[in-house]
Structure 1
Amino acid sequence: RKGRLADAEMLCRQQLAADPGNGAALACLLDILRSAGRIDAAVAACDELIAQCPELPALRRARGNLLLALGRCADALADYDAALAAEPGDAVCWNNRGAALKKLHRLDEALASFERAAEIDRDFTEAHYNRGDLLLQLWRYEEAIAACDRALASDPRYARAHYDRGLALQALSRFSEARDSFERARKLAPDMPWLPGQLLHCRQKLCDWHGLEQLYREIARGIEQGRPVCAPFYDLPTPLDLSQQKRCAELYVSEILPAAGRPLSPTRARRRIHVGYFSADFHDHPVAQLLAGVLESHSRRFRVTAFSFGPDSDAPLRRRIVSAVHRFAEVRDLSDNEIAQLARESGIDIAVDLMGHTQNSRPGIFAMRAAPVQVNYLGYPGTMGASWMDYIIADRVVLPAEHRPHYSEKVAWLPDSFFPGGGERAIEPGDADRASLGLPEDGFVFACFNNPYKLNPADFELWMSLLRDVPGSVLWLAGATTAVMDRLRDEAEKHGVDAERLVFKQRTPTVAEHLGQLRHADLFLDTRYYNGHVTTSDALLAGLPVLTMRGETFAGRVAASQLQAAGLPELVAGTADQYRERALALATDAGALAGLRERLSSARRNSPYFDLERYTRSLEAAFQAMHTGAVDGQPARHLEDLQPSAPSGFWRRLLGATK
């Protein structure tokens, strides 16, 4: 207490020399060394004592805790096992053993350890919480909620349990309950890392816009101060600018991920470049829908492996992807380090991250260096903020040259859109007519099928002004929870629009049926901060014109990229006023709308955006340039003038798109 730490350390060592089993002296010594950042010295002290008294379990447990803090999880596990062999009823040791196993990605064993700790001490709050946290990671959300509830029964003020409970509820789309859990965590621990971003995203999922501007400002201020207030992705559907989004990603990477692995050098140029695609979404997921055609179109100059760390699936789309690649590796039970090691052993030249900072992503794989070249592509519309991600695939619209300082990656600019819009996708017209879908027979149908979290008060106010100015018109929105639909109806009434003029689309059994129903809409209205990406692609494929507002960020420029490549630049507005004027003009001029639909129909046959083979050859040109540069020992560099390697159809006729 008087700050005489050196004297205290000496006294503790003297007491332990006389009695190695003196638990109070050991705890005091280790506390002194840890507080001084001398963890290696603490381990050395434990080593000396264990050499004298190897039979004392407290010493092995103490060293295990230190080794766990140093990240030496396998060594820590050995100490915990030795301690438990002597004292099998030590609940704390079982709990810490579970933590070591979790870090080693031996998740089933970790869960069993946490459960054993909770069995021994039924009021052990941390053990119940750790069990719930792991169940959350295993996608066993109902069980995770029950475990968090058990932790809270022991300690109602345990903020982390409220937080994890919110995460599990959110994963089950129980957003109102999730928001309440996040709010309780916030009251108990206002400075909890990442909590403001989680609360923001949950409110956006609910279209609960009360206090949204205040949360935006809080998150922006926290990012500028270098605090971990928001995980990347949650900042995308917000007014935060590119510099703030980059800083947000950098903070997340520095807080969450291990130090970068050493760069790898290719041994030689390859006749066939080996590309690895990494994702948890190789199932019925929008990114998989987009990617399947690309995988099928790869030429023989490329060998392709898919690394899947998501749930198992027997969906037709999954089977299609499996048949399109040379190897489909199920790696969900492996740790990040083990997956990266597998990729290196497999000779992957280019590792493609399809997820970035989205849900269930595993960026730690790339921090460990899975391949000599690593690429951020398609799934995450922003920078990774990481030194170990070499490239981002983009185009001149979605990422103009003047935006380069706001990306940690070097840019590979494709000549058209970075977004794959072509490929064979079934459209089922079906028997549904407007009346059966709840739409007016003659009124103008505005539509937006973007996820509710992309909606925002400014866009909604603009849309309501259009409904007021176009008599008989309706706004057709994606189906949502009852709470979301009720809230949006209330918002419409506040803007002087009858709530019945909002129509919510029911989910269809298949994507093909959904695409077929889009013919009943007249104009798709996009969202400004985070555009429709796959929803824009779906609409254009179905012949539905999309009106967007070009934003300042990657996520806010994707629809502009697609429309530019499709030859429809007039559907890209630069301001909110232009957006409103063009929407109103198309809603009141049937001839202009019909002409636009005709041009869109022609674009599906002739524009680069819908030419999947051209797109894949352009992507391959980027991969070739990346690989060649790495083989030559060059650091990653911006890549431009990437033209398709051959005219459309040439490689398919000459080589085929075979495995």
Structure 2
Amino acid sequence: MQIEDLFQRAHERHLAGDLASARETYSRIVDLDPSHSDAVFRLGVVDVQEGRYQEAIAWLTRAFDLKPGDRRYREALGQAFALAHRYEEATSIYRGLLDEDDADPDLWFGLGSALQAQGALHEAASAWEAVSQRDPRRADALNNLGNCCRLRNEPALAQSAYERALAAQPGNADALTNLGTLLQAQGRHEQAQGLLREAVAAAPGSPAALVNLGAVLIECENPQEAADVLARAVAIAPAFAPAAFNYGNALHALGHGREAQTQYRRVLEIEPGHAEAANNLGNVCRELGEHKAAMEAFETAIQARPDFVDAYNNAANLLRALGRQDAACVLLRKALALAPTHSATLNNLGNVLKDRGELEDGIVCLRQALASDPGNLTAHSNLLYALSFQSSDAAAILAEARRWAAQHEMPLRASRVAQAPVRASGRRLRIGYVSADFREHCQAFFMMPLLSNHDRTRFEIHAYSSVVRPDTITTRLATHVDVWHDVRPLGDAALAEKIRADGIDILVDLAMHMADGRPLLFARQAAPVQVAWLAYPGTTGLDAMNYRLTDPYLDPSSHDSQYSERSIRLPDTFWCYDPLAVEPAVNGLPAESAGYVTLGSLNNPCKLTDATLDLWAAVFAALPDARLLLMAPQGDARERLAARLARHGIDRARVRFAAFQPRDAYLRTYHEIDLALDTLPYNGHTTSLDAMWMGVPVVTRVGATCAGRAGLSQLANLGLDELAAFSDDAFVRTVVELSNDLPRLAGLRASLRARMEASPLMDGVRFARGMEAAYETMWREQRGAVTDAPESAS
């Protein structure tokens, strides 16, 4: 058979897509005639089609050497160099061809691609414009021009280029997608969403278009539709890592932790070095309580990307939650070495330092976090809460709360929905409680007696729960409300809309500025009447928060100017306590067998201020045989605290430490304590109630702020006012006298639990009636039914 006949047969096989047969026949021709340039050229084309770019370059170079004047060979060689990522050589080929004839838009397109791949963005942009000048219908070139401008940080020019691409070819899925993601990055989510929906309509089978739409839907707090869209992407392209990754993000936002976990692990099977998937997997594992798996995932993320600051932070937060404060500090300092002004890292380090008892250093970090990013709401809330432990100046705390409101609440005021406090005749007053802690958490000790005793014939009770991992306490609490709402997947705006639709009359914030609170929900005025209670006695600073609950002991009338909210005083007490267990029982007085008195405080170390240690030092100077038992995390924090105690004159040999423990073991620690010492300026709250439940009396030093008057409130409700000291000398005298009177101390220990059970502190019915009277007072005031409402709800 003649060579030309063979070539014709090879060409037909080639056009039919039978590349193996075409290659075999072209090779026979070259064996017969090594100078047959077209056959050599076609072998190079087959290699390009099969992704064998280096082999293709060799064949195409040989073809060019055989026939230097054939432009086709040079064009194909330029393409092969580009596909092999040999962009400089590709650029040289295209420039040579364009020097001879610059009219071909395809050559300009090839040059633009090679230049952009090398980062020569200015020259690349000129090449894309050259394509458009020669063929205005080339939407692909204009789309690439937009990408180039985006890389040059020229968003306006990028937007113009994408719009020109769409004018040249309406419905171009690539241009729609790129313009959509550009607007998404600018925060123009509504426009972005519309464009990305058009992209999906134009290319319904495109995984990339579906992924981008899903991602913007997640940002727009529409995780359910996002999950539906991304499930389609995963079905179309099971091995496309961005589809599984974003699907995992949507499932996580919906609270479907197990399903999200599956998707993130799928991503890591596809791309083992996908740091973001490993990091997100760690977050999900932590939420599921799988701490070992979570830490392994964070370590994988850091190994894949050693400068991954977010992964260092997440690993440190896990270590903090596990009580490994020193290890958490190490990771956070590594993160700061990578990014010294990273606001989230400074915030997290501030929290860890606060937990370790290094309150002053923690507050410095929190202020640095805010200086780095004034919009960091979490850091600002953490700072505001931390100031309650540091400062006895209520005016300074209020000033910071108002700064918080000016920064974070003010932008939302214009979008508030006005709601008149109107209730249909005969309908129960609807009360909504908002919390992420309807679970095994100290908050449950106070919510259980209230919820279980609400008068449901007069009040319709709703709970808006953002609990990550519900437990048996969650289930018990849910039995005491009319409607339980699991709202964890909802953002603040969506939750505000839901609460309005539910017709809630009075909305109660149980977290304020503590962890996992929703202050921006309340800033949106989700209900006609909004109230702060329980998290801690203090102020939110929000002008949308109408009221705060308190009691006559926490807040005498002279305190009213210290808060942005109107104070409503409950008849007896701010707290109604239920330990939710009868064990462990109260034991005998430890001093009777030990031969010395053990004073103790199981409060968080952040409450052990210098003012507190100075006060205690005078006690230990007067009681040379007394011992001290404190709670502090193991490691460096204990050593620092011991050194601080020594500087204040309390010998290290007189001090023992207990670790953070599960509740039963923590309560049993009171079996070793004879008398509890309170802290200043922030008294014990739940801790003091726990101590007295275990028979351990608490001597308090009454402070200047409501947080420093908690001991007074609790002791007054127990009829033990004599244990509340209004001066340092009185505090020392009370502790010393009681420590030297073991019969009296033993009598208190034996009777305290019964005294608590008989007091307003554990009278759930009485407390619920007081709360309900307070709600009715608020409702009447807001409706204008009374013109001079009383200060007390009693």
TM-score by length of 1: 0.77
Matches within 5 A, 1:203-602: 203-207=353-357, 209=358, 213-216=360-363, 219=366, 227=374, 228=376, 230-232=380-382, 233-239=385-391, 241-249=393-401, 259=412, 261-268=416-423, 270-299=426-455, 300-315=457-472, 317-421=473-577, 427-428=582-583, 430=585, 441-478=594-631, 480-481=633-634, 484-485=637-638, 488-489=641-642, 491-492=644-645, 497=650, 499=652, 501-504=654-657, 518=670, 521-590=673-742
1:84–1:93: 8 Å Cα contact kept in structure 2?
no
Mapped to 2, the partners of 1:417 and 1:365 lie a distance apart of 27
Mapped to 2, the partners of 1:433 and 1:506 lie a distance apart of 23
Which SS does the other structure have where 1:358 is aligned? Answer: coil
Deviation readout 1:235-289 (Å, 9 max, x if unpaired): 4322374344345455556667782532322442554211122222222221111
Mapped to 2, the partners of 1:322 and 1:380 lie a distance apart of 23
Matches within 5 A, 1:7-18: none
Name the amino acid aligned to 2:723: L
Deviation readout 1:373-419 (Å, 9 max, x if unpaired): 22111024332232332221113443444444443322222233222
Alpha-carbon deviation of 1:134?
6.6
Partner of 1:178: 328
From 173, 176, 199, give the equivalent of 1:59.
176
Deviation readout 1:199-226 (Å, 9 max, x if unpaired): 232123234x4xx545545656887999
Which SS does the other structure have where 2:778 is aligned? Answer: helix
From 143, 146, 151, give the equivalent of 1:26.
146
Partner of 2:123: none
From 312, 318, 334, give the equivalent of 1:168.
318
Name the amino acid aligned to 2:397: Q
Q: Does 1:192 align with 2:333?
A: no
Q: Summarize the Cα distance change of 1:348–1:154 in structure 2 as closer, same or farther, 3 Å threshold.
A: same
1:526–1:548: 8 Å Cα contact kept in structure 2?
yes
Q: Summarize the Cα distance change of 1:431–1:531 in structure 2 as closer, same or farther, 3 Å threshold.
A: closer
Partner of 2:102: none
2:344–2:369: 8 Å Cα contact kept in structure 1?
no
Mapped to 2, the partners of 1:487 and 1:356 lie a distance apart of 31
Mapped to 2, the partners of 1:398 and 1:406 lie a distance apart of 12
Deviation readout 1:47-72 (Å, 9 max, x if unpaired): 98379432332431431342462344
2:589–2:749: 8 Å Cα contact kept in structure 1?
no
1:195–1:230: 8 Å Cα contact kept in structure 2?
no
Which SS does the other structure have where 2:433 is aligned? Answer: strand
From 49, 62, 70, give the equivalent of 2:166.
49
Alpha-carbon deviation of 1:292?
0.8
Which SS does the other structure have where 2:503 is aligned? Answer: coil
Alpha-carbon deviation of 1:180?
1.5
Instruction: Report which stretch shifted further, 83-92 or 325-334.
Output: 83-92
Matches within 5 A, 1:603-614: 604=756, 608-614=760-766
Deviation readout 1:310-353 (Å, 9 max, x if unpaired): 144442x4444233222333333444444434433333211112
Name the amino acid aligned to 2:353: R
Alpha-carbon deviation of 1:525?
0.7
Mapped to 1, the partners of 2:539 and 2:548 lie a distance apart of 8
Partner of 2:188: 70
Ranges in structure 1 where 5+ consecutive residues have no aligned partner: 1-7, 645-659
From 80, 100, 109, give the equivalent of 2:219.
100
Partner of 2:251: 109
Higher alpha-carbon Rg: 2
1:375–1:392: 8 Å Cα contact kept in structure 2?
yes
Which SS does the other structure have where 1:231 is aligned? Answer: helix
Mapped to 2, the partners of 1:403 and 1:17 lie a distance apart of 73
1:63–1:79: 8 Å Cα contact kept in structure 2?
no
Would you say how many aligned residue pairs link Structure 1 and Structure 2? Answer: 622
From 771, 775, 790, give the equivalent of 1:623.
775
Q: Which has the higher helix share?
A: 2
Alpha-carbon deviation of 1:620?
0.9
Mapped to 2, the partners of 1:168 and 1:282 lie a distance apart of 21
Deviation readout 1:26-62 (Å, 9 max, x if unpaired): 25767999878x9xx9599759837943233243143
Alpha-carbon deviation of 1:175?
1.5
Alpha-carbon deviation of 1:537?
1.9
Mapped to 1, the partners of 2:586 and 2:306 lie a distance apart of 54
Q: Summarize the Cα distance change of 1:122–1:569 in structure 2 as closer, same or farther, 3 Å threshold.
A: same
Mapped to 1, the partners of 2:207 and 2:538 lie a distance apart of 49
Mapped to 1, the partners of 2:728 and 2:479 lie a distance apart of 45
Alpha-carbon deviation of 1:196?
3.8
Partner of 2:13: none
TM-score by length of 2: 0.66
Q: Summarize the Cα distance change of 1:611–1:640 in structure 2 as closer, same or farther, 3 Å threshold.
A: farther
Name the amino acid aligned to 1:305: H
Alpha-carbon deviation of 1:623?
0.4
2:316–2:329: 8 Å Cα contact kept in structure 1?
yes
Q: Summarize the Cα distance change of 1:125–1:554 in structure 2 as closer, same or farther, 3 Å threshold.
A: farther
Alpha-carbon deviation of 1:617?
1.7
Mapped to 1, the partners of 2:669 and 2:318 lie a distance apart of 33
Alpha-carbon deviation of 1:495?
5.6
Q: Summarize the Cα distance change of 1:91–1:108 in structure 2 as closer, same or farther, 3 Å threshold.
A: closer
1:393–1:411: 8 Å Cα contact kept in structure 2?
yes
Name the amino acid aligned to 1:296: S
Partner of 2:83: none
2:173–2:209: 8 Å Cα contact kept in structure 1?
no
Mapped to 2, the partners of 1:75 and 1:577 lie a distance apart of 70
Name the amino acid aligned to 2:716: Q
Name the amino acid aligned to 2:685: H
Name the amino acid aligned to 1:56: A
Identity of aligned residues (%): 29
Alpha-carbon deviation of 1:643?
3.7
Looking at both structures, which has the greater relative contact order when contacts are Cα pairs under 8 Å and sequence separation is at least 6? 1
Which SS does the other structure have where 1:374 is aligned? Answer: strand
Name the amino acid aligned to 1:165: A
Q: What is the root-mean-square deviation of aligned Cα atoms in Å?
A: 4.7
